[in-house]
Amino acid sequence: MPKMRAVDAAVLVLEKEGISCAFGVPGAAINPFYSALRARGTVRHILARHVEAASHMAEGFTRAKAGNIGLCIGTSGPAGTDMITGLYSASADSIPILCITGQAPRARLTKEDFQAVDITAIAAPVAKWAVTVMEPYQVPMALQKAFYLMRSGRPGPVLIDLPIDVQLAEIEFDIDAYEPLDVGKPAMTRKQAEKVLALLNAAERPLIVAGGGIINADASDLLIEFAEITGVPVIPTLMGWGAIPDDHRLMAGMCGLQTSHRYGNATMLASDFVLGVGNRWANRHTGSVDKYREGRKFVHIDIEPTQIGRVFAPDLGVVSDAGAALKMLLDVATEWKTAGKLRDWSGWAKECQQRKKTLKRKTHFTEVPLKPQRVYEEMNKAFGRDTTYVSTIGLSQIAGAQFLHVYNPRNWINCGQAGPLGWTLPAALGVRAANPDAEIVALSGDYDFQFLIEELAVGAQHKLPYIHVVVNNAYLGLIRQAQRGFQMDFEVSLAFENVNRGEGAEPGYGVDHVAVAEAMGCKAIRVRRPEDCAAAFKEAKRLIAENQVPVVVEFILERVTNISMGTEIDAIVEFEQLAERNEDAPTAIALLD
């Protein structure tokens, strides 16, 4: 039996489980693991500038491609605590990432050693499993369990903490005898499918709500086939956006309080039956449960048993992987269609299409400073159907979801539930590491961009090019808009006169993002007028081709623009777009193209 250090066995296991890329920051307590990575040379390592950013890079890497698992590495103490936000974000969105931390020697764990913290206790609420490995031979076995847990049932993150003496201990281990464990996923039965379809068949105006579980299961093609064979329109959630193309005749729009379409909300309110697949009835999608449920029946299909009934009790709940459920539903629906047993919903589908054609929000504004709606209109023109968008939180993300178009699964990489500021930039770098040839466009407000702005240097150092659209109003825009309910505008302005403002920087807007990006080794363009947008995007693509570094395209926006949202899906406020601050009162004006 070959003898090796526990960390050498760990790297062999990572290889066998398919790990090809890691994001992290070395440190004293994790250096043995890094020595094993260096000795093998099979796993690419990307050095982050902040360990939280490394965890978000791992998220982006996982989210970008089916089957991927991102790996984040850090030392003891603060490296692990820095990862907690990434673990929370991954756990909330059912994203598997593996976090490996170094730890003080076993004998010193209770001695308050330097940078010794009980990271497993801290991580446990936001991880599928968190463990400090106390026996050297259990290092490869803990990794085997970690990969099994990350892939089985509802996916999620795992943290493995390795005391330095455990890392260095010698064990006997034969990698040729190692095999990944079979993944366990529940599957819908035919009897269950027939019950679902019987409820569907009794409805006059049914909808399919397509959640992120469909993306995780790589089952978007099955969703489209099922929608087409039944003729039932689809409402994707924000996490499921891209599971059906935006221009598909059965794509009925998104529903919700913020990241929604007017036609999507109107169609949901007109429906009488909802089939939820791989979704979790998130509150930004539903609003109040009473209003969302009123007048309609529900079926909920989810891979995790405890998700069913968590928000509200459906008329029927089925525990199943989204892909397995759609396959069984498709098989039964096809038989019923052939036998003439399936209802015809073509008239209802045409109603949904009509709403989609007419209930639109205005985007073609010509004002200077720019209105954000015009920026998204220009993005739709500049980028193709295969573009991958990355975004996290704020008015920039909300407006992006309202106005951009997504046509493929995993082309909307979004932190749905946690929404940490700063997530976008490192996540985009992770997406680039996973997809070397993709066209990647990140979308941030100025505050999200500033949170982990130092990671631009990672993109420059490791040649991870993408376009980062920064819509700059020098505000915490979403919080400013929320503060309207308290009749205040307090501590949400980022504006100041920068004494070091370079030539061309916007007076009064504070941080010179162009100068910062260039100082980090990247390229940057500033845009002030609508007619310059197209040329800026063209130039950004040229700069990426020539330099292979991130390119920041900053748009100087008017300070205040309120984006459509509300407290209920039937009470979305459509704001009249006024440029002057303190003159932004809500109105009931319908902004139609």
Same domain, 259 and 385: no
Q: Can 329 be counted among the known catalytic residues?
A: no
Tell me if 131 is assigned to some domain: yes
Q: How far apart, in whole angstroms, are the C-alpha atoms of residue 556 and residue 552?
A: 13
Handedness of CA 231, 237, 243, 247 (dihedral sign): positive
Does any domain span residue 528? yes
> What is the pTM (predicted TM-score) of this model?
0.93
Q: Going residue by residue through the chain (593 aa), what tens digit of pLDDT does each one get? A: 799 999 999 999 999 999 999 999 999 999 999 999 999 999 999 999 999 999 999 999 999 999 999 999 999 999 999 999 999 999 999 999 999 999 999 888 787 887 789 999 999 999 999 999 999 999 999 999 999 999 999 999 999 999 999 999 999 999 999 999 999 899 999 999 999 999 999 999 999 999 999 999 999 999 999 999 999 999 999 999 999 999 999 999 999 999 999 999 999 999 999 999 999 999 999 999 999 999 999 999 999 999 999 999 999 999 999 999 999 999 999 999 999 999 999 999 999 999 999 999 999 999 999 999 999 999 999 999 999 999 998 889 999 999 999 999 999 999 988 889 999 999 999 999 999 999 999 999 999 999 999 999 999 999 999 999 999 998 887 888 888 889 898 888 888 888 888 777 888 888 999 999 999 999 999 999 999 999 999 999 999 999 999 999 999 999 988 889 999 999 999 885 433 333 343 333 333 22
- Say if 426 falls within a structural domain: yes
Domain for residue 501, yes or no?
A: yes
Judge if the upstream peptide bond of residue 507 is cis by omega within 30 degrees of 0: no
Tell me, yes or no, whether 183 lies in a domain: no
Decide if 479 is catalytic.
Answer: yes
User: pLDDT value at position 576?
Assistant: 56
Does the annotation mark 25 as catalytic?
yes
Which range marks the domain in which residue 268 is found?
190-358
Predicted local confidence at residue 109, as pLDDT? 78
- Alpha helices, H only, 395-484: 395-403, 424-434, 446-451, 456-461, 477-483
Does residue 38 contact residue 24 with C-beta atoms inside 8 Å?
no
Residue 230's DSSP bridge partners are none
**Domain-located, residue 307:** yes
At 266, which CATH number?
A: 3.40.50.1220
Instruction: State the pLDDT at residue 455.
Output: 98
Q: Does the active-site annotation cover 421?
A: yes
Q: 260 and 124 in one domain? A: no
Contacts of 445 (CB under 8 A, 6+ apart): 394, 395, 396, 470, 471, 472, 473, 475, 476, 477, 478
pLDDT at 508: 85
Of the listed 183, 269, 479, 591, which one is catalytic?
Answer: 479
Q: Are residues 328 and 382 in the same domain?
A: no
Residues 408, 245 contacting (CB under 8 angstroms) = yes
- Answer for the pair 303, 320: CB distance below 8 angstroms, yes or no: yes
39 and 92 fall within a common domain: yes
pLDDT at 499: 87
Cβ partners under 8 Å of residue 99, min gap 6? 55, 58, 72, 73, 74, 80, 83, 86, 87, 123, 127, 157, 158, 159, 160
Q: Which of 51, 97, 318, 549 is catalytic?
A: 51
Three-class SS state of 582: coil
Two tokens, residue 336: 């019923």
Residues 38 and 136 in one domain: yes
Residues 157, 210, single domain; the answer is: no
* CA count, 13 A, side-chain hemisphere, 91: 18
Please, are residues 131 and 119 in contact by the beta-carbon 8 Å criterion? no
Q: Are residues 97 and 233 in the same domain?
A: no
Tell me, what CATH number does 11's domain have?
A: 3.40.50.970
Q: Are residues 320 and 451 in the same domain?
A: no
In a domain, 582, yes or no: no
456 is known as an active-site residue: no
Give the total number of structural domains in the chain: 3
Residue 182 domain-assigned (yes or no): no
Q: Are residues 165 and 242 in the same domain?
A: no
Q: Are residues 390 and 321 in the same domain?
A: no
Q: Which one of 11, 13, 14, 25 is the catalytic residue?
A: 25
Query: Which of the residues 131, 476, 527, 552 is marked catalytic?
Result: 476
Q: What ranges in 472-590 are assigned the alpha helix state H?
A: 477-483, 513-519, 533-547
Report the DSSP pairing between strands 572-573 and 565-566. Answer: antiparallel
Residue 213 shares a structural domain with residue 251: yes
**CA 79 to the chain's CA centroid:** 23
